[in-house]
Structure 1
């Protein structure tokens, strides 16, 4: 993370360069954001947000940089999308790396607050409206450099990422094989936001005030954006509301169809839900690689990498719809893994002791440091539960067989074993993930 003095000096240079006025106060790091950093600051009596990459190395291999992203946002604003105004793109002389500055908008991106709004159905219609407007943009409306997705090439890229990450997660292998076997034909490409979901939407009360985080925008199938926001992970505490945690999928799609004048294809919607679940599972896995490489040594990276198990369980729930009834009815038997502590402190007790000490620091910290403390205690909890439960996710031979089609959900006992592994891994990594309770009920698991 950038040093405070360097950040302040860099922002002062940006403000002077583009005429924002004198920088006042200290920039505040905003929590959240799995990829980029966000800093809020004031200058000339107005509030702004700096969005920057944690390092220049972090931008390597991306299809376009922040200058193109900023121009994309402006194109969206011209199409009446509720997007922020970009006031400056960083240059080398600013000393802040890669990024841009936006005028701050009212509202919050915190899903916990947004999902308690008074009019969730009305907000959902606004969100569908803005998505339809994004999808109205074509290649001639935006700057050059925004890629057009080739579906089969995208699947091949996911497969390559999987192999690079070890190729040893059977459920992801199963998902990749399903994608290869069910890839739809190409449609006329429209601008996809690429990350259109709760957490990237700014809301005040029940009013949409901003669509944020455009670095994944590309041209492709509009069903991809529609499906992504409806994934279980983006419902947060409202698992019972499949459309962004706000309402019913049917209502969301109906509002989108009314604004866009197009019809949603259920088969394509399912394909992209499965595709994006595999995509985010691999995205989580890559967080650990980014930490190991030194491109970003933030604590959140290693913790987010363990959220891969969320997507594995969600993916299995999506895929098992195609399994034979006899396999879906097969019971799930959990491992009996019990440790009786004796003698010197074991690894679990050591981790618990450190976590308890960290808890005493909570009232001494503020802002992002306090958030990091919570992340650190979460990491220790994952370690503790993994040891206690003996949870494992890797199985290179099983993954290879599923990826090659030598085994499938029709193979006797495969579904039951995948269910057991997914359940045990997730209850170690993220035991409060809402889909875990749903899976326990659906799979009739008793402990």
Structure 2
């Protein structure tokens, strides 16, 4: 019932916004799946198809460096410069009564990472993505809004440190990453426009061709290596851990295509810095999702589930950082896995959650669109509850985190790497057991298949 009321309100507000642009009534309004921060709604006006991009609440926009008006202006500039950005056709006003956002013409193609990864010519798509990113980086600042911020590298690291402290300051692997960042901030380069979220999930593709680049809310000026690195993070490669460039191919091919399209010569050391930076950034971003939900800024189920994806980033971060550990520590065997007790008697809370999850699976065929997506998220949440009493989940240690940040301990400390490896494996196995990199890390660190 609430969903129907919301759709009616959205349709009325959309009609008001579209009328200002001389367009007709919106029809067939449908919530799209995905979107970790903003909502997306597809609709039609006559025979034309459009997408509404909208904040879940006005409170959700507070504290952001710029609003949807600036984002829309950036997309317009990118579209005019030949980037595969959508055409913005209308922006929401307060009198529309449906919050903050804008309307774009719908583009062909799918954003589904698994569908994209299954396309026949991933190398072709990788070349096109690299070229599009080079075009974004070449946009003239004079054609862009003045409100776009410029990332100061040291201030960015300090901001991550503040987020870590606000989140409890008790996750040793993130502390290790923060200390590495503080010690390895590179010299600044001439800033270019960064998309800020250029990865699988935010691009559209069809028949192995790039058809669109979405979600420009994190745009800023900075080092071009940041954009290049973000899309290559393990978490954004989904099932293709073996393809380090956006899950589509090798890094050398990606870098060569980017440079050929006019991008700067890629520096591997800068690329590594920004890969580690963005892995820490996303780990802390995942943690913050639970706070958005607690404060009521967005009570979407996906918000709390994403918060548990911090363990994915902790594992990936440790894999990146362990390259600097002494060979002796890298060769140390892991601590034994914690034994999970066998339950007896009445059903536990975890078993009840698993039973509900199994029942929800029987409803999958009755769901479609965003409801089907939410059902999958709900089952993930119940799986986390089912594993919630697992003793392996306890991976917080404020004292160790403080020692790492102070430089009192590091990866040369005897036994620390082995301990962190065990913690990362066990926590992720309890949180997101299907994360593709988990099996690879387990095989690397334990020899298990």
Same fold judged by TM-score > 0.5? yes
* Paired position in structure 2 for 1:10: 13
* Paired position in structure 1 for 2:34: 32
1:369 to 368, 371, 374: 371
User: Structure 1: 5+ residue runs without aligned partners?
Assistant: none
Correspondence 1:331 to 2:333? yes
Q: Distance in 2 between matches of 1:13 and 1:393?
A: 51
* Paired position in structure 2 for 1:165: 167
Whether the aligned pair in 2 keeps the contact of 1:348 and 1:388 (CA below 8 Å) is: no
- Cα distance, 1:53 vs. partner? 0.3
Whether the aligned pair in 2 keeps the contact of 1:55 and 1:295 (CA below 8 Å) is: yes
- Cα distance, 1:20 vs. partner? 2.0
- Cα distance, 1:438 vs. partner? 1.0
List aligned pairs for 1:147-186, cutoff 5 A.
Answer: 147-186=149-188
Whether the aligned pair in 1 keeps the contact of 2:137 and 2:263 (CA below 8 Å) is: no
Deviation string 1:240-269 (CA, Å, 9 cap, x unpaired) is 001011000110000001111521111100
* Paired position in structure 2 for 1:231: 233
- Cα distance, 1:357 vs. partner? 2.4
1:359 to 351, 361, 384: 361
- Cα distance, 1:373 vs. partner? 1.2
Whether the aligned pair in 2 keeps the contact of 1:337 and 1:388 (CA below 8 Å) is: no
Correspondence 1:21 to 2:7? no
Moved more, 362-371 or 307-316: 362-371
Q: Secondary structure at the match of 2:387?
A: helix
Whether the aligned pair in 1 keeps the contact of 2:338 and 2:392 (CA below 8 Å) is: no
- Cα distance, 1:349 vs. partner? 1.5
1:216 to 215, 218, 234: 218
Q: TM-score, normalised by structure 1?
A: 0.97
Whether the aligned pair in 1 keeps the contact of 2:392 and 2:423 (CA below 8 Å) is: no
Q: Distance in 1 between matches of 2:372 and 2:438?
A: 28
- Cα distance, 1:348 vs. partner? 2.1
1:418 to 394, 417, 420: 420
- Cα distance, 1:352 vs. partner? 1.5
* Paired position in structure 1 for 2:147: 145
Q: Secondary structure at the match of 1:102?
A: strand
2:382 to 380, 383, 391: 380
* Paired position in structure 1 for 2:72: 70
Moved more, 329-338 or 77-86: 329-338
- Cα distance, 1:396 vs. partner? 0.9
List aligned pairs for 1:284-363, cutoff 5 A.
Answer: 284-363=286-365
- Cα distance, 1:335 vs. partner? 3.0
Q: Distance in 1 between matches of 2:177 and 2:140?
A: 30
Aligned length: 446
- Cα distance, 1:198 vs. partner? 0.6
- Runs (4+) of structure 1 exceeding 6 A deviation are none
* Paired position in structure 1 for 2:402: 400
- Cα distance, 1:446 vs. partner? 4.5
User: Structure 2: 5+ residue runs without aligned partners?
Assistant: none
Deviation string 1:53-73 (CA, Å, 9 cap, x unpaired) is 000000001110001100001
Whether the aligned pair in 1 keeps the contact of 2:354 and 2:386 (CA below 8 Å) is: yes
From the superposition, tell whether residues 357 and 182 of structure 1 become closer, same or farther in structure 2 (CA, over 3 Å): same
Q: Secondary structure at the match of 2:281?
A: helix
Correspondence 1:128 to 2:130? yes
- Cα distance, 1:274 vs. partner? 0.4
Q: Secondary structure at the match of 1:114?
A: helix
Q: Secondary structure at the match of 1:3?
A: helix
C-alpha RMSD of the superposition: 1.3
Moved more, 272-281 or 360-369: 360-369
